[in-house]
């Protein structure tokens, strides 16, 4: 076991990203326990069932752990838009409960935030000092969680690292993710619907690479840190649709754009490379091929 990290509580361990991170850390020899409102579908990670918005449950769950890797919360942008009150409750109040419990038990917190907290980009690359101006319920709630943890760092000495993650993909994503929508449509013999002209782009970051980044960060000491963890490759939505369409012999149609989608931006992970030696272990094409093969 790594002497820096000790025992690790991973919130959101029954979900897509939290589950990938928890399993990776456990397979690397870390002592890991999960925390989630939903029971796990597998039994490889021991899990405490609890609600992030229940301060007493969170306080009890965090006791005895050296590090809390906080991936729990509302990660579905469509759900957050439909129910912003729920997003605020879970992502802001729930994260505050995690921070208070960690401060009480002298544990560190690594918080999974998002690149979507940044303001619209005018030019150049976005680094960790770029202006913050989220405009949708999901990203606003994630920034709210960041700010509460920052306040607890200032007032109670909470040790916190904030990871602003790239748009994640991999096996086990939500059905409404663009990867799952395209792949399900193609496998069903349906047309792939691309919103707008498809020129909007993302730096898709594989769940395995995010898990590797989490491990790199928690294996080092820190008191307060903000790190972008975003793959460098830029892929347009149309390119993604074309990859899937070519694999299954599907066709593509264009439909109206969605206001819920954040604007395209180029995010730099130079700090993660410099401080933690992190970069994706495989290119997007290889990760995408593995994803489609496993479908």
Q: What are 7-40's pLDDT values in tens digits?
A: 999 999 999 999 999 999 999 999 999 999 999 8
Residue 122 has what pLDDT? Answer: 81
Q: What average pLDDT does range 241-266 have in this prediction? A: 94
pLDDT greater at residue 2 or residue 161: 161
What are the structural domains, with CATH classification, of the chain? Answer: 7-170+204-230+266-281 (3.40.50.720)
DSSP H helices in 157-283: 178-187, 207-218, 237-248, 270-276
Q: What average pLDDT does range 160-179 have in this prediction? A: 96
Yes or no: say if 116 and 169 are a contact pair by the CB < 8 Å rule. no
Where is average pLDDT lowest: 35-44, 83-92, 124-133? 35-44
pTM of the model: 0.95
Give me 206's structure tokens. Answer: 């594989």
Q: Which residue has the tokens 């606003």?
A: 140
Residue 45 has what pLDDT? Answer: 94
Residue 1 has what pLDDT? Answer: 36
Q: What are 223-244's pLDDT values in tens digits?
A: 999 999 999 999 999 999 999 9
Give me 54's structure tokens. Answer: 């229940």
Yes or no: say if 99 and 148 are a contact pair by the CB < 8 Å rule. yes
Residue 5 has what pLDDT? Answer: 63
Q: d(Cα 150, Cα 145) in Å, to the nearest integer?
A: 9
| Percentage of the residues of the chain whose pLDDT score is greater than 70 | 98
| Percentage of the residues of the chain whose pLDDT score is greater than 90 | 91
Instruction: Name the β-bridge partners of 110.
Output: 69, 161
DSSP string, 103-125: HHTT-EEEEEEEGGGBPPP-SS-
Q: Which residue has the tokens 């992970």?
A: 269
Yes or no: say if 202 and 237 are a contact pair by the CB < 8 Å rule. yes
Q: d(Cα 114, Cα 119) in Å, to the nearest integer?
A: 12
């Amino acid at each position: 076991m790594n002497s820096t990290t000790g025992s690790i509580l991973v919130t959101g361990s029954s979900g897509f990203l939290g589950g990938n991170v928890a399993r990776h850390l456990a397979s690397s020899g870390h002592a890991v326990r999960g925390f989630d409102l939903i029971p796990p579908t597998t039994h490889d990670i021991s899990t405490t069932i609890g609600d992030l918005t229940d301060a007493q449950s969170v306080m009890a769950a965090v006791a005895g752990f050296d590090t809390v890797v906080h991936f729990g919360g509302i990660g579905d942008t469509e759900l957050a838009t439909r129910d912003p009150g729920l997003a605020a409750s879970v992502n802001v109040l729930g994260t505050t409960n995690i921070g208070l419990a960690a401060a009480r038990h002298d544990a560190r917190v690594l918080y999974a935030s998002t690149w979507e907290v940044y303001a619209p980009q005018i030019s150049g690359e976005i680094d960790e000092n770029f202006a913050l101006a989220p405009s949708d319920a999901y990203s606003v709630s994630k920034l709210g969680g960041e700010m509460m943890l920052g306040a607890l760092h200032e007032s109670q000495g909470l040790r916190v690292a904030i990871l602003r993650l790239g748009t994640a993909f991999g096996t086990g994503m939500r059905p409404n993710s663009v990867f799952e929508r395209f792949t399900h449509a193609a496998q069903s013999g349906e047309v792939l619907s691309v919103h707008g002209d498809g020129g909007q782009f993302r730096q898709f970051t594989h769940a395995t690479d995010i898990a590797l980044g989490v491990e790199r960060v928690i294996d080092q000491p820190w008191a307060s840190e903000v790190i972008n963890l975003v793959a460098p490759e830029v892929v347009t939505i149309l390119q993604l649709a074309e990859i899937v369409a070519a694999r299954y012999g599907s066709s593509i149609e264009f439909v109206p754009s969605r206001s819920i989608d954040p604007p395209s931006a180029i995010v730099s992970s130079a700090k993660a490379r410099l401080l933690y030696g992190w970069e994706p272990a495989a290119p997007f094409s290889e990760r995408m091929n593995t994803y489609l093969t496993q479908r």
